[in-house]
């Protein structure tokens, strides 16, 4: 199948491109390189374009006879989404409509969509299943939930099929060391702690030490990016095999606290560094841990990098060899 990968030059998309290159599918990456990196695209054809350029998008879909889409392109900074909601509604929701319309006009029936645990907000129960109430507490999560609802309507009315994947905390790097996480600005915990271990930052701050958790710091479900990549391939195969539209959580089912992450980075890197305790970051739920039983059962998904040490080892391998990210 000829697959269009929007945002395929970004962190998760580039890992999916690498995994997908081991299958028979043809890869066309569509990315405006606003956050992505040319050097991260190790397979397929990279087309530099914006999703708001409907003519270009349509031309690419026709020229490459696209039959399925994996849609990663989005803005995804929670804090920024609260300060500038318009940017998020335009890029996430508005451009998703552009893409869906191009798909509809060109008879492209399948999409794997990147959603997020942020659609759940502050869950009333742990672990979080796909049936847990969705109640996003920030604009970013709301934009993803709006898109999920649009996809359901496009299925009902036009028969298009979607697998929505709600990722928990994407982390780690491809074990080959060729690609990894390179966001600017970086806001995610694991790369920030590794930058501190590298001496690129003076210290790491723990945002809140008074949460109702085992050590007072927030607990998250860190899922390796290569495991996420495998799930995308399984989702695409499921759609091709005639699956109905579905929603799946993707996490390890294991939660680690901020302190546990910091301690593991010290262990893996063998380096000590300064840790500060600071105020809570607004909008952070205390605990987010997934049940991914549905993805395991229905897609046959088996994460390979379940434990935190492995995740941090692969991330460290990338960061220590590429301290300034992609060239
Ligand atoms: N990183 C996480 O922990 C996480 C968790 C849950 C969900 N997600 C979702 O997964 C997806 C990928 O996340 P990521 O961490 O790889 O982000 P990323 O910023 O590294 O990748 C996104 C890519 O999309 C491109 N892009 C953005 N807007 C575009 C547009 N209008 N036209 C063309 N290209 C555009 C960017 O240049 C970038 O390469 C996003 O949809 C994000 O919301 C990420
Ligand atoms: O310098 C830092 C950075 C983060 N944290 C804490 O570390 C935990 C993880 O924070 P991240 O920013 O790495 O990740 P989030 O859990 O906030 O969010 C990520 O996962 C979410 C789903 O769980 C969404 O998908 C979102 O897009 C994605 O960035 C949080 O408790 C946060 O408060 C710190 O203590 N110090």
| pLDDT at position 103 over 90 | yes
Backbone angles phi, psi at 197, to 5 degrees: -60, -35
Ligand nearest the Cα of residue 77 is 2
Percentage of the chain beyond pLDDT 90 is 97
- Confidence at residue 197, expressed as pLDDT on a 0 to 100 scale: 98
The residue among 282 and 22 whose pLDDT is bigger is: 22
**Ligand 2 center to residue 142 CA distance, Å?**
17
**Ligand 1 center to residue 137 CA distance, Å?**
20
Q: Which atom of ligand 1 is nearest to the CA of 40?
A: 39
**pLDDT tens profile 236-248:** 999 999 999 999 9
Ligand nearest the Cα of residue 137 is 2
Confidence of residue 327 (pLDDT cuts 50, 70, 90): confident
- Confidence at residue 306, expressed as pLDDT on a 0 to 100 scale: 86
> Residue 34: CB within 6 Å of ligand 1?
yes
Which residues are identified as catalytic?
A: 140
Residues touching ligand 2 (Cβ under 6 Å) are 76, 116-118, 168-169, 187-189, 192, 204-207, 218, 220, 258, 281, 284, 288
Please check whether residue 261 is in contact with residue 188, taking contact to mean a CB–CB distance below 8 angstroms: no
**pLDDT tens profile 173-218:** 999 999 999 999 999 999 999 999 999 999 999 999 999 999 999 9
d(CA 312, CA 269): 9
Domain borders along the chain are 2-171+223-250, 189-220+253-321
- Confidence at residue 321, expressed as pLDDT on a 0 to 100 scale: 97
**Ligand 1 center to residue 202 CA distance, Å?**
28
The reported pTM is 0.98
**pLDDT tens profile 252-301:** 999 999 999 999 999 999 999 999 999 999 888 999 999 999 999 999 99
Q: Among 41, 74, 164, which is best to mutate for testing ligand 1, by the most ligand atoms less than 8 A from CB?
A: 74
C-alpha distance from residue 321 to each of 20, 171, 324 (Å): 24, 17, 9
Q: ipTM of this model?
A: 0.97
Q: What class does CATH assign to 189-220+253-321?
A: alpha beta
Q: Which residue's CA is minimally distant from atom 7 of ligand 2?
A: 189
Q: Which atom of ligand 1 is nearest to the CA of 167?
A: 6
CATH classification number, 2-171+223-250, choose in 3.40.50.300, 3.30.479.10, 1.10.645.10, 3.40.50.720: 3.40.50.720
The mean predicted confidence, pLDDT, of the chain is 97
SS3 assignment for the chain:
CEEEEECCCCHHHHHHHHHHCCCCCEEEEEECCCCCCHHHCCCCEEEECCCCCHHHHHHHHHHCCCCEEEECCCCCCHHHHHHCHHHHHHHHHHHHHHHHHHHHHCCCCEEEEEEEHHHCCCCCCCCECCCCCCCCCCHHHHHHHHHHHHHHHHHHHHCCEEEEEEECEEECCCCCCCCCCCCCCCCCHHHHHHHHHHCCCCEEEEECCCCCCCCCCCEECEEEHHHHHHHHHHHHHHHHCCCCCEEEEECCCCCEEHHHHHHHHHHHHCCCCEEEEECCCCCCCCEECECCHHHHHHHCCCCCCCCHHHHHHHHHHHHHHCCCCCC
**pLDDT tens profile 132-173:** 999 999 999 999 999 999 999 999 999 999 999 999 999 999
């Amino acid at each position: 199948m000829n697959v269009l990968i929007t945002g395929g030059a970004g962190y998760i998309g580039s890992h999916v491109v690498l995994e997908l290159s081991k299958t028979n599918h043809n890869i066309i990456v569509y990315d405006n390189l606003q956050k992505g990196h040319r050097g991260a695209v190790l397979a397929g054809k990279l087309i530099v374009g914006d999703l708001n350029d409907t003519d270009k998008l349509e031309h690419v879909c026709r020229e490459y006879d696209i039959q399925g889409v994996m849609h990663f392109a989005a803005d995804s900074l929670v804090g920024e989404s609260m300060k500038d909601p318009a940017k998020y509604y335009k890029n996430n929701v508005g451009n998703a409509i552009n893409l869906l319309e191009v798909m509809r006009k060109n008879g492209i029936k399948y999409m794997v969509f990147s959603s997020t645990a942020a659609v759940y907000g502050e869950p009333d129960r742990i672990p979080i299943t796909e049936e847990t109430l969705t109640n996003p507490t920030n604009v970013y999560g709301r934009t993803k939930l709006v898109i999920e609802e649009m996809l359901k309507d496009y299925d009902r009315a036009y028969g298009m099929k979607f697998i929505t994947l709600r990722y928990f905390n994407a982390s780690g790097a491809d074990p080959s060391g060729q690609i990894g996480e390179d966001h600017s600005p970086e806001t995610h915990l694991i790369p920030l702690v590794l930058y501190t271990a590298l001496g690129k930052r003076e210290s790491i701050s723990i945002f809140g030490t008074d949460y109702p958790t085992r050590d007072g710091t927030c607990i998250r479900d860190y899922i390796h990016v290569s495991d996420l990549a495998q799930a995308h391939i399984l989702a695409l195969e499921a759609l091709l095999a005639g699956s109905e539209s579905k929603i799946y959580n993707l996490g390890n089912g294991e939660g680690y606290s901020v302190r546990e992450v910091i301690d593991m980075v010290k262990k893996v890197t063998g380096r000590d560094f300064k840790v500060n305790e600071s105020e809570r970051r607004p909008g952070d739920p205390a605990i987010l841990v997934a049940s991914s039983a549905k993805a395991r059962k229905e897609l046959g998904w088996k994460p390979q990098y379940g434990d935190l040490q492995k995740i941090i080892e692969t991330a460290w391998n990338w960061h220590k060899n590429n301290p300034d990210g992609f060239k």
